[in-house]
Structure 1
């Protein structure tokens, strides 16, 4: 009798173990086979919503090269950038500016001394304006709330971005993205300027992102308006920049494209 009871107890124990193992197996998930959105979890909720309104940071991170053209009175200016390594090439009838990932260089296509943009700062300047808000997904950026911007009776909430020491050529720069409170699409940019001599480095300048275009699922600027400013507020428009022939791809541009030609001047 005692032996029968022991056998029965052992059978019940083994059955319970089997059921417990079955339950654990049923709720176990193989996350290697799951498509998880882990990238956006490292950003504040508001910034994530802004990214999402523009196509999503995860889709942006799949892209490896960006090219856009700005029509100008004296010729089209074409900017080409490798997104992951930030090599850059700007071509214009009057000049060429390049950055091979380490060195910045330029070629003067006009007679006489080069009097164009400072290549050290210009090679990624318009790219930075153009690739917003996604450039604020870079490392070394501090994020905080900003006072909203009210312009012509409409109020735009803001997020402020600053840089850790040693990040970029001018880590003192500050940026504020002002967004539509209903759609979370970026509408304004406030920014300080630290690379032009004689300018107030604490005064905020402003650009309005007036038109957007969908490029491979990412919302990128089609038109940007530069504004006059006073007391850290925009006042009136002073010029419009258009962006055409935009290419955003998942293929990087060969590094040789950004190599300085023999006639180039290397910027120290």
Structure 2
């Protein structure tokens, strides 16, 4: 008798649910008519705010080539990068260094001995220059960071870390500090773990407060390295200026990055 009663109750519940489903109206959306921002919807709101203040990550993702010049003690250093493959050419008066997508190489000029670390320097200045957009790469983890206060103003922070196996130094961490009102990036804190095991808590500081608009994107005109103490910047140490900046949706020919005859492959 109890079994029959339970079966009857179950049937009544099922019928009630079926009736409700049949009478429920679901709004149909024609997504072909919607203007969706698929790219930025994958990012947290705070980093999207920063991207937007610099022209937008969607605009950046259309770009294929970045080039800039820096004045160094041995002359002008010109860096050209394929933003999609990350092929790179660094051309200076005393050497060229390049990455063709598979091989890293160095070519010395006029008998000058190359004494740098090509593996460490590969992509380094491009990475600093392409802030904040470069932290829109795949394999990045975003977290809130403790705010930075400098000269009486407080900047919210976004901690950037990497999934295992991403890049040459996946233990590197960055903190992007931005103006809460405008969203514009103001500071970068970063660690250096190249050639070391594990993460570091020794954050160094770069100030970003000199911007220029190129092809719809707000990019650095110069950046300032700061001395620091107890994870806080103190006074300016030096400035690096960028000239002849070019960012475009055109691609340079692959031959630009090809290893020249006589160059040395860096393992």
Note the aligned Cα RMSD (angstroms). 1.9
Residue in structure 2 matched with residue 173 of structure 1 by the alignment: 172
SS in 2 for 1:178: strand
Residue deviations 1:132-160, cap 9 Å, x none?
Answer: 11111111111000000111111111000
Residue in structure 2 matched with residue 115 of structure 1 by the alignment: 115
Partner Cα distance (1:217, 1:180) in 2: 20
Residue in structure 2 matched with residue 89 of structure 1 by the alignment: 89
Residue deviations 1:12-53, cap 9 Å, x none?
Answer: xxxxxxxxxxxx9xx76361x654211100000111110000
Residue in structure 1 matched with residue 253 of structure 2 by the alignment: 254
Q: TM-score, length-normalised on structure 2?
A: 0.85
Question: Does the 8 Å CA contact 1:89/1:123 hold for their aligned counterparts?
Answer: no
State the number of aligned residues: 240
- Segments of structure 2 that go 5 or more residues without pairing to the other structure are 1-25
SS in 2 for 1:227: strand
Residue in structure 2 matched with residue 40 of structure 1 by the alignment: 40
Residue in structure 1 matched with residue 21 of structure 2 by the alignment: none
Partner Cα distance (1:194, 1:149) in 2: 22
Residue deviations 1:183-210, cap 9 Å, x none?
Answer: 110010000011278xx94300000012
Residues 1-268 of structure 1: matches in 2 within 5 Å?
A: 29=30, 31=32, 34-109=34-109, 111=111, 113-116=113-116, 118-195=117-194, 201-268=200-267
SS in 2 for 1:71: strand
Question: Does the 8 Å CA contact 2:161/2:171 hold for their aligned counterparts?
Answer: yes
| Runs of 4+ off more than 6 Å | none
SS in 2 for 1:260: coil
- Segments of structure 1 that go 5 or more residues without pairing to the other structure are 1-23
Partner Cα distance (1:98, 1:261) in 2: 10
Q: TM-score, length-normalised on structure 1?
A: 0.85
Question: Does the 8 Å CA contact 2:76/2:93 hold for their aligned counterparts?
Answer: yes
Residue in structure 2 matched with residue 4 of structure 1 by the alignment: none
Task: Tell me which moved more, 48-57 or 94-103.
Answer: 94-103
